Structure 1
Amino acid sequence: MSANKETFGKTVGFVLAVCVVCALLVSFAAVQLKPLQTANKLLDKQTKILEAANLLSATDGSAKSIVATFEKYVEAKMVDLDSGEFIEGNPDLFDERRNSRDLAKSDKPQNDIAGINRRSHDAVVYLVRNDNNQVETVVLPIVGSGLWDLMHGYVGLEADLNTVKNVIYSDHKETPGLGAEVLNPKWIALWPGKKIYDQAGEVKARLVKGGAKAGDIHGVDALSGATLTSNGVTNTLQFWFGEEGYKPFIAKFRAQGVK
């Protein structure tokens, strides 16, 4: 009996030792990989912003070229969404997802058509300048519900803050071949030149089931077989370019000029 107890004790001790060693290895790997993961996440973000600004073609596709192009042409600035004013703050430390979970830093929208639940008081906008230091593009982050979860992306606007350069999604959980077609270059290519607002200042950008008609300056073809995702994209645009989104910022800097 004592021999069996000794064998059982050794087995338990061995298992515990293996668990401790594995836990230490996993923790060590996580710590060591964290800087690389952070750098890759930042690179992906910069890549999507350059794509929204139609500047990705100005790079050779390498990480070094993407970072250099971003740092040369793109300026990130904090904005108070309610007033539309630029505010002090470090854009590199801003986290929209974290802010939207903080009751002190976010509000529940009165008309939450985007399905985001809470909206951060602040946002980061990206001013993209040309070689003459003139703002050519403004890239605005967007987020809204798709079929399965929130979809995050960027809308690049020309300096009139109405004409679309690109709509680029960066993070989603939509179904491959259906809602995930937001990443299809053919669908992305439908956006350049479309208008967000009509002459009365109403948000008219939308996805059109069955396809947008020729000459429709606001409509883009809906995603085939992905009605809920398409509705989500439309609602996201309606929300973020409305009064509770970027409209105060857009109205202010259309009138005053973006410096």
Structure 2
Amino acid sequence: MDRNSNGYTFLFAGIMVIVVGALLAFTATSLKPAQDENVKKEKMQNILASVGVDVDREAATAKFGEVVKQQLSLSEDGSEKSDVNAFKVDLKEELAKPVDKQTYPLYVAEQDGKSFYIIPLRGAGLWDAIWGYVALDSDMNTVKGTVFDHKGETPGLGAEITQKWFQDRFVGKKIRNESGKIVGVEVVKANATPNDVDAISGATITSNGVSEMIAERLAHYQSYFDKLKK
């Protein structure tokens, strides 16, 4: 075949596309187990971080098994779903379902003889999804710690939700009002009540997103926590 012909050019390009595509597919398939394991360990790190336990990725699995004593999958009414693995619940998929069809994961950690309840979060920021974890003290009202992350918030503004100084503002805050109803923690400019934290300057929409995410997710655990108290 004439190497200067259009036919040769198209044939060569077609072969290269097939070869490169096959190599990329093989590489992706080969790396997937390692990628999945890293995602799993990062999730464990974040859950542990919400109760103040900071470990590197390699130590995450062992420490998670030591600290987290229960992994529960709950229904809206507070009943447990024994056939659902809490760790494998994808909140992105759950949020697409009706409220009464969703599964609400809950992790129970123990440290120094005290129990802490860790709730996964997911909501919307300014540009894309935000998510994280909030850990509650044994009174199921006081915030022990938080972890937040995002997909595409603005650096220096909404992206600051990932910073320790912002997450530390939630420690000691209350998620219930005076009547005992779970209302979450509101991120506002005026830190006036036990349910408020100072917002991030210039990041109003992301701050509102964090507030709405916490209030919406935690409200679904009211029934379970009320049963637990009784």
Q: What TM-score do you get using the length of structure 2 for normalisation?
A: 0.90
- Amino acid in structure 2 at the alignment position of 1:167: T
**What secondary structure is seen at the aligned counterpart in 2 of 1:161?**
coil
Match of 1:71 in 2: 65
Equivalent-residue separation in structure 1 for 2:24 and 2:194 (angstroms): 53
Closer, same or farther: CA 191–180 of 1 in aligned 2, 3 Å: same
Match of 2:39 in 1: 41
**What secondary structure is seen at the aligned counterpart in 2 of 1:189?**
helix
Match of 2:141 in 1: 162
Match of 2:104 in 1: 123
- 1:1-259 paired onto structure 2 within 5 Å: 7-56=5-54, 59=55, 61=56, 63-74=57-68, 75-80=70-75, 82-88=76-82, 89-101=84-96, 106-107=97-98, 121-130=102-111, 136-202=115-181, 203=183, 205-209=185-189, 211-213=190-192, 216-242=193-219, 245-255=220-230
Gaps of 5+ in 2: none
Equivalent-residue separation in structure 1 for 2:101 and 2:120 (angstroms): 12
Equivalent-residue separation in structure 1 for 2:89 and 2:126 (angstroms): 27
Gaps of 5+ in 1: 110-118
For the aligned residue pairs, the C-alpha RMSD in angstroms reads 2.1
Percent of aligned pairs with the same residue? 30
**What secondary structure is seen at the aligned counterpart in 2 of 1:87?**
coil
Equivalent-residue separation in structure 1 for 2:95 and 2:166 (angstroms): 30
Q: What TM-score do you get using the length of structure 1 for normalisation?
A: 0.80
- Amino acid in structure 1 at the alignment position of 2:61: V
Closer, same or farther: CA 3–48 of 1 in aligned 2, 3 Å: closer
Q: 1:207 touches 1:233 (CA, 8 Å); kept in 2? A: yes
Equivalent-residue separation in structure 2 for 1:218 and 1:79 (angstroms): 25
Equivalent-residue separation in structure 2 for 1:167 and 1:120 (angstroms): 26
Q: 2:128 touches 2:150 (CA, 8 Å); kept in 1? A: no
Closer, same or farther: CA 230–100 of 1 in aligned 2, 3 Å: closer
Closer, same or farther: CA 162–28 of 1 in aligned 2, 3 Å: same
Q: 1:96 touches 1:120 (CA, 8 Å); kept in 2? A: no
**What secondary structure is seen at the aligned counterpart in 1 of 2:8?**
helix
| Runs of 4 or more consecutive aligned structure 1 residues displaced over 4 Å after TM superposition | none
Q: 2:123 touches 2:130 (CA, 8 Å); kept in 1? A: yes
Equivalent-residue separation in structure 2 for 1:3 and 1:238 (angstroms): 69
**What secondary structure is seen at the aligned counterpart in 2 of 1:241?**
helix
Aligned residues, how many?
Answer: 227
Closer, same or farther: CA 14–182 of 1 in aligned 2, 3 Å: same
Equivalent-residue separation in structure 2 for 1:148 and 1:164 (angstroms): 27
